Amino acid sequence: MKSDAAPQAIVLAVDDAPETLSLLTDILENAGMTALVARNGVNALSLIGRIAPDLILMDAVMPQMDGFETCRRIKSEGGLPHVPVIFMTGLTDTEHVVKGFEAGGVDYVTKPVEPDELLARIRVHLMNSRLVQSALAALDVSGIPLIAVDSRGGILWMTPESVKLLSGSAKVAPEEEEIWRAEIAPVLAQIHEKKLSKHPLRGTTSQSIFASYIGESRQGEHLIRLREASASSEEDLLRKHFQLTGREAEVLLWITQGKSNRDVAEILGFSPRTVNKHLEQIFHKLSVENRTAAAMLAVRVLTAN
C-alpha cells in the first residue's frame, strides 16, 4: 500500500562542539527526522554538495569559517538559496542577530537549546519552505518567464521559460549562464530599484526582451517578468481587451500586482485621488465592484496571452 505520509525531513546541524551535535542528533531523530552533522563550515559545504538538506541548524561562532560566512556561501555557492537556515548561538547582541539575518538566516535561537522550542521552529520553517517549493514548481510548469532577484539584481532563481528566453536554449553551459547573469544583473537591479513596468534587457542573446517589475514575493526576493518585444505589452493587452484608456490600463496592471492606491500614485506620478477616479472608470468598464474582482479578470487576460 502506498503511504501518504510526508517524506522524512533531512536536517543538517553544523557545530564545532561534539556534545551539541550529539544533542541535536538525538532531538532530530526522536522527532522522526534524519540528522546530518558537520563540524565546521568547510565540511558543511562539502556535505551539501552530495546531499541537499531540507533545513540547516547553524552555529554562529566557529573557528576558521564562522556560521555567517558559511550561510552566505551555502546560499550563493551551494545552490540552496531556499533552504532555511536557523542560527544557534549564545550571542544575543542585536548586531549578531542582524548579522544572522543579513547572511540569509530565517531564524535565531540561543544556547542552550530548548528541544521543544527548537522543534517547533524547525517544523514551521519546514512547512514554509515546502510551500515555497510547491509554488516554485507550479511556476516552472506555468510557462511564465519569471526571475527572482535580490536587492542588488543578483539572480536567486529563474523559471525554465526565462532561461530559454534569455539564452535561446533550454540547456545552457555553466560558463555561458554565468556570463549573461553578470551582464543583466545591473539592469535587473535598476528595474527592482525603480519598480519599472517595462525596460529592455541589454547584453542578452536577444535584443527584443523586455522586463517588468512585479513585486516582492517575500523578504529580500523580488519578481521580474520577461516578455519578448514582439508580443503586445501587458498594458496594451488590458487596454484592448477591456476598452480602457492608456492610463486606466496602467493603473489596472499595477493593481494586479498588489499595489495600493498610494503605491500606484507614486509609481505613475499623480495623486491617490486621481487613482481612485481611474479605478471608478475601470470598475464600470469591467462591470465589477472592487479592485480584487478587477485584478482577477485582468490576470486571466494576461495569463491567457
pLDDT surpasses 50 at 231? no
- Is residue 19 predicted with pLDDT exceeding 90? yes
Sign of the CA dihedral with 85 first, then 87, 93, and 95 last? negative
> What pLDDT, on a 0 to 100 scale, did the predictor assign at position 16?
93
pLDDT at residue 204, rounded to an integer: 45
Q: Per mean pLDDT, which range of 153-157, 241-245, 284-288 is the poorest?
A: 153-157
* Residue 176 or residue 289, greater confidence: 289
pLDDT for 64-90, tens place per residue?
Answer: 899 999 998 888 776 677 789 999 987
Q: pLDDT > 90: what percent of the chain?
A: 29
Beta bridge partners of residue 57, listed in sequence order: 13, 86
Q: Is the peptide bond before 81 cis (omega within 30 degrees of 0)?
A: no
Q: How confident is the model at residue 133 (pLDDT cuts 50, 70, 90)?
A: low
pLDDT at residue 48 above 60? yes
- Catalogue all structural domains in the chain, each as residue range(s) with its CATH number: 10-135 (3.40.50.2300), 143-228 (3.30.450), 234-303 (1.10.10.10)
CB 235 within 8 A of CB 246: yes
Q: Is residue 200 classed as helix, strand or coil in its secondary structure?
A: strand
Question: Could you count the other beta carbons within 10 Å of the beta carbon of residue 228?
Answer: 11
From 23-32, 55-64, 195-204, 260-269, the region with the lowest mean pLDDT: 195-204
The residue ranges of DSSP E strands in 219-252, in sequence order, are 221-228
Task: Categorize the per-residue pLDDT at 169 as very low, low, confident or very high, splitting at 50, 70 and 90.
Answer: low
Is residue 38 over pLDDT 70?
yes
What is the pLDDT at residue 61?
Answer: 87
Q: Assess contact for 261 and 189: CB atoms under 8 A.
A: no
Q: Which residue has the cell 535584443?
A: 207
Question: Any idea which of 39-48, 146-155, 196-205 has the lowest mean pLDDT?
Answer: 196-205
Round to whole Å and give the CA distance between 197 and 239: 15
Q: Is the pLDDT of residue 200 over 90?
A: no
Q: Looking at residue 183, what is its pLDDT? A: 72
pLDDT at 287: 93
Position 265 pLDDT exceeds 90: no
pLDDT at 134: 60
Identify which has the larger pLDDT, 66 or 143: 66
3-state secondary structure of 165: helix
Q: Is the pLDDT of residue 207 over 50?
A: no
User: Does the predicted model carry a pTM greater than 0.75?
Assistant: no
